[in-house]
């Protein structure tokens, strides 16, 4: 589709927004579809109207409410995080299964936005990929003042809970063709996840919208000059006042009360845990109250901190420094970590040093802790920019076999979405907010508008993820699950820092990972593998991609010549590899 055509037919582009060649080359399939001007409000109205003339049986995605009422589910999410057992997909219900029939990226007249009912259609595919946990990005009604995008940022909630104590759910997420409220539909969605063995983690925004702050001044932080406290770069949100008296370390009781009610409302819906957005925006004292409170209601309620690392903590204006270890001590089961900067780790030791630091940190805690494989989140640009599908496959093979890591994807990455939106910064005549600009963070998942379903043109990535997670999930050999989740992590010495090689070992079973970190060139190395035999049979458990690799086996070592970004996982027969390795290369998370 030509960007210029879009400009003429739908949208008024700002003059500085030059059409990009890559956008012009994408998606031309919609050229024949009749176009109508973009108008999200009218779109909603028409969808609603059309539902009234269609027979209900043809439009209900699930068989009414009755089908979801007797779901047997026992939350075990905290244990999943402790045991590195979660495989997570981050999803945005507003776009998750949106039907952008004309392919212009936006949902407009006659098209269907994502909602909780049509999202159910995607759960079987997600389960089939090997995912057992959804990270659901915020689902609250969005603030409309100084808003970002025509739908409002997911992280600028207008309210968190309703007057009746129920979780506040964005009415846009209600399917107009299915009976019940948006809350009912969320409950149906959660039940459908549980039916498939998928746990549900909800995203708790760290700040509130401007509209919220006006309604709840008692909850909001002020600068010394009386101005609202606003995180740098985010005009649409305001920060909470966490202290009543910071000197005496007395927390704001109204804010604690609101968050307890939030936990209650989550448990009522059957939600299994919370992802705390910018967890450092609240002090450990705060989490020391809220997390134990959640466990008093549901001992298996799991907590993931959006926290990175001590050294890297950017001194962002108005945000305290990041302290992942404090977050662990405060009760979080897992944190984000630094894999999103893996593109800057050009040497294998960068990875090994980082893993050692984290395993040591977990071992200092009272119970095991974990990370997520945050190679790409909604805050990061698509990993496709770093090396296309092979990059995603390479990092998939790694995060499927690393210790202390729960694999993580943001929706769209599994099929290679570049997160380019043709309407990027365009001016829309109609909006649900006070903003007519279709704000997008270019190259990142759209969280500001009613946009298309995430996804790209590389289904082979999803197949690779499925094969890779199948090793981890124990589908190829049930013992591999235990090796990957609980086994030792053995760094293997090589004579080339671009080759990443490690073994995972438990109870006599060994998995070997060998990969070429270089995105552009073949790389060779000799890898020392204690206990390895020259007659070892090598069957790569991962699908082929990129260029072929070559292996020359010897006793105690292997010489490899690997294609760019090529990763391999083998089972090898080295029952004594731990004993034969240099002890400083053997790392073990304590359980
Ligand atoms: Ca469209």
- Ligand 1 centre and the CA of 5: distance in Å? 13
Residue 321 pLDDT level (bands cut at 50, 70, 90): confident
Rounded CA separation 567/511 (Å): 13
Ligand 1 centre to CA of 421 (Å) is 11
Q: What is the pLDDT of residue 113?
A: 97
The answer to whether the CB of 306 falls within 8 A of the CB of 279 is yes
What is the per-residue pLDDT across 223-239, written as a single tens digit (0 to 9) for each?
989 899 998 888 999 99
Both tokens of 286, joined, read 């705060």
Q: How much is the pLDDT for 320?
A: 73
Q: Residue 45: what pLDDT? A: 41
DSSP 8-state symbol, 280:
G
Interval between CA 571 and ligand 1 midpoint (Å):
47
Looking at residue 40, its pLDDT comes to 46
From the list 398, 334, 345, the residue with the least C-alpha distance to 372 is: 334
Domain 487-587, CATH = 2.60.40.1180
Span from the CA of 453 to the centroid of ligand 1 (angstroms) = 11
Q: What is each CA distance from 588 to 288, 357, 503, 578, in whole angstroms?
A: 28, 12, 12, 10
Query: What is the Rg, in whole angstroms, of the alpha carbon atoms belonging to the chain?
Result: 25
User: Which residues of the chain does CATH 2.60.40.1180 include?
Assistant: 487-587
| Encoded tokens for 403 | 């210790």
Q: In the prediction, which pLDDT does 190 show?
A: 98
Q: Which of 440, 444, 442, 386 is nearest to 410 (CA)?
A: 444
d(CA 449, CA 439): 7
* d(CA 412, ligand 1 centre) in Å: 17
**pLDDT at residue number 421:** 96
Residue 325 has pLDDT above 80, yes or no: yes
Tokens of 119: 């999202």
pLDDT of 237-250, one tens digit each?
Answer: 999 999 999 999 99
CA of 114 to the centre of ligand 1 (A): 12
Of 33-47, 169-183, 558-572, the range with the lowest mean pLDDT is 33-47
pLDDT at 300: 98
CA distance 195 to 76: 14
Ligand 1 centre to CA of 427 (Å) is: 15
pLDDT at res. 317: 63
Mind listing the pLDDT tens digit for each residue in 47-96? 343 333 333 333 333 444 444 556 789 999 999 999 999 999 999 999 99
> What is the β-pairing status of strands 199-204 and 133-136?
parallel
CA of 34 to the centre of ligand 1 (A): 11
What does the pLDDT read at residue 51?
Answer: 36
Q: Is the pLDDT of residue 1 over 60?
A: no
**Average of per-residue pLDDT across 35-57:** 39
Q: What's the gap in Å between 184 CA and the centre of ligand 1?
A: 27
Query: What is the Å distance from ligand 1's center to 111 Cα?
Result: 7
Q: What is the mean pLDDT of the chain?
A: 89
* 380-386, Cβ contacts within 8 angstroms, sequence gap of 24 or more: 380/340, 380/410, 380/444, 381/419, 381/443, 381/444, 382/412, 382/413, 382/417, 382/418, 382/419, 382/443, 382/444, 383/413, 384/413, 384/416, 384/417, 384/418, 384/456, 385/418, 385/443, 386/343, 386/519
Q: How confident is the model at residue 310 (pLDDT cuts 50, 70, 90)?
A: low
The H or E element that residue 59 is part of is: helix 56-59
pTM recorded for the entire structure: 0.88
Taking alpha carbons only, the member of 249, 516, 239 closest to residue 393 is 516
Cα 100 to averaged position of ligand 1 atoms, centre (Å): 4
Measured between alpha carbons, how far is 547 from 365 in angstroms, rounded to an integer?
43
Contact 13, 76 (CB under 8 A): no
The answer on pLDDT for 588 being more than 80 is yes
Where do the CATH 3.20.20.80 domains begin and end in the chain? 40-209+253-479
Give pLDDT tens digits for 418-445: 999 999 889 998 899 999 999 999 999 9
Q: How far is the CA of 121 from the centre of ligand 1 (A)?
A: 20
Distance, CA 327 to ligand 1 centroid (Å)?
42
Alpha-carbon distance of 519 to 388, in angstroms, equals: 9
The pLDDT of 167-184, averaged and rounded, is 97
* pLDDT tens string 389-411: 999 999 999 999 999 999 999 99
Q: Which residues contact 485 (CB under 8 A, 6 or more apart)?
A: 83, 84, 85, 472
Question: 298 alpha carbon to ligand 1 midpoint, in Å?
Answer: 42
pLDDT of residue 16: 35
Residue 559 sits at φ, ψ, to 5 deg, of: -100, 130
Cβ contact 501:512 at 8 Å = yes
Question: From ligand 1's centre to the CA of 452, what distance in Å?
Answer: 7
Residues 6+ apart with CB under 8 A from 262: 160, 161, 167, 204
Is the pLDDT at 176 greater than 80? The verdict is yes
Residue labelled with tokens 């996840």: 193
Q: Tell me which of 311 and 273 has the higher pLDDT.
A: 273
CATH for 40-209+253-479, options being 3.20.20.80, 3.40.50.80, 3.40.1160.10, 3.40.50.720: 3.20.20.80
Q: In the structure, what pLDDT confidence band is assigned to residue 183 with cuts at 50, 70 and 90? A: very high
CA 113 to chain centre: 21
Note the pLDDT of residue 109.
Answer: 81
Q: What percent of the chain has pLDDT over 70?
A: 86
CB atoms within 10 A of CB 583: 7
- Ligand 1 centroid from CA 449, angstroms: 12
Tell me, what's the pLDDT at 69?
57
Q: What is the pLDDT of residues 504-522, one digit of tens each?
A: 999 999 999 999 999 999 9
Chain CA centroid to CA 103, Å: 25
Span of 114-128, 220-234, 307-321, 547-561 with lowest mean pLDDT: 307-321
Rounded distance between C-alpha atoms, residue 141 and residue 31, angstroms? 34
């Amino acid at each position: 589709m030509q960007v210029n055509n879009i400009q003429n037919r739908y949208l008024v582009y700002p003059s500085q927004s030059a059409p990009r060649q890559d956008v012009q080359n994408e998606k031309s399939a919609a050229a024949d579809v009749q176009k109508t001007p973009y108008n999200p409000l009218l779109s909603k109205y028409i969808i609603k109207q059309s539902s009234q003339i269609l027979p209900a049986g043809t439009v209900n995605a699930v068989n009414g409410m009755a089908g979801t009422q007797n779901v047997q589910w026992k939350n075990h999410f905290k244990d999943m995080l402790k045991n590195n057992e979660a495989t997570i997909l981050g999803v945005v219900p507003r776009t998750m299964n949106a039907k952008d029939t004309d392919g212009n990226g936006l949902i407009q007249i006659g098209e269907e936005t994502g909602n909780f009912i049509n999202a159910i259609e995607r759960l079987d595919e997600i389960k089939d990929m090997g995912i057992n946990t959804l990270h659901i990005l915020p689902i609250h009604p969005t603030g409309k003042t100084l808003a970002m995008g025509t739908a409002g940022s997911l992280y600028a909630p207008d309210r968190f809970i309703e007057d009746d104590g129920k979780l506040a759910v964005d009415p846009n997420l209600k399917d107009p063709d299915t009976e019940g409220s948006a809350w009912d539909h969320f409950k149906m969605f959660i039940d459908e996840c549980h039916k498939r063995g998928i746990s549900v983690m909800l995203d708790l925004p760290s700040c509130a919208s401007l509209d919220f702050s006006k309604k709840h001044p008692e909850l909001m932080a002020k600068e010394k000059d009386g101005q609202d406290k606003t995180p740098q770069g985010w005009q649409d949100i305001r920060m909470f006042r966490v202290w009543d008296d910071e000197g005496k370390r007395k927390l704001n009781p109204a804010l604690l009360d609101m968050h307890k009610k939030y936990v209650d409302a989550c448990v009522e819906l059957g939600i299994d845990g919370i992802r705390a957005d910018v967890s450092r925006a609240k002090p450990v004292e705060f989490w020391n109250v809220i997390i134990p409170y959640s466990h008093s209601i549901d001992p298996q309620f799991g907590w993931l901190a959006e926290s990175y690392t001590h050294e890297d903590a950017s001194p962002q204006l108005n945000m305290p420094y990041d302290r992942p270890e404090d977050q662990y001590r405060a009760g979080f089961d897992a944190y984000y970590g630094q894999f999103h900067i893996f593109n800057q780790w050009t040497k294998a030791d960068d990875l090994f040093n980082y893993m050692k630091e984290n395993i040591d940190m977990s071992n200092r805690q009272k119970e095991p802790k974990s990370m997520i494989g945050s190679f790409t989140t909604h805050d990061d640009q698509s990993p496709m920019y770093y090396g296309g599908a092979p990059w995603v496959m390479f990092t998939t093979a790694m995060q499927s076999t690393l210790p202390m890591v729960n694999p993580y994807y943001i929706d769209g990455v599994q099929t290679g979405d570049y997160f380019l939106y043709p309407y990027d910064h365009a001016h829309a005549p109609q909006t649900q907010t006070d903003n007519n600009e279709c704000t997008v963070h270019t190259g990142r998942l759209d969280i500001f508008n009613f946009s298309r379903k995430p996804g790209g043109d590389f289904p082979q990535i999803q197949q690779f993820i499925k094969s890779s997670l199948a090793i981890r999930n124990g589908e190829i050999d049930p013992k591999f699950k235990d090796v990957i989740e609980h086994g030792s992590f053995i760094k293997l010495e090589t004579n080339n820092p671009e080759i990443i090689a490690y073994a995972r070992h438990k109870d006599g079973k060994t998995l070997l990972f060998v990969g070429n970190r270089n995105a552009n060139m073949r790389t060779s190395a000799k890898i020392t593998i204690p206990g390895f035999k020259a007659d070892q049979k090598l069957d790569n458990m991962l699908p082929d991609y990129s260029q072929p690799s070559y292996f020359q086996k010897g006793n105690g070592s292997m010489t490899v010549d690997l294609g760019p970004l090529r990763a391999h996982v083998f089972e090898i027969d080295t029952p004594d590899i731990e004993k034969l390795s240099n002890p400083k290369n053997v790392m073990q998370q304590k359980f």
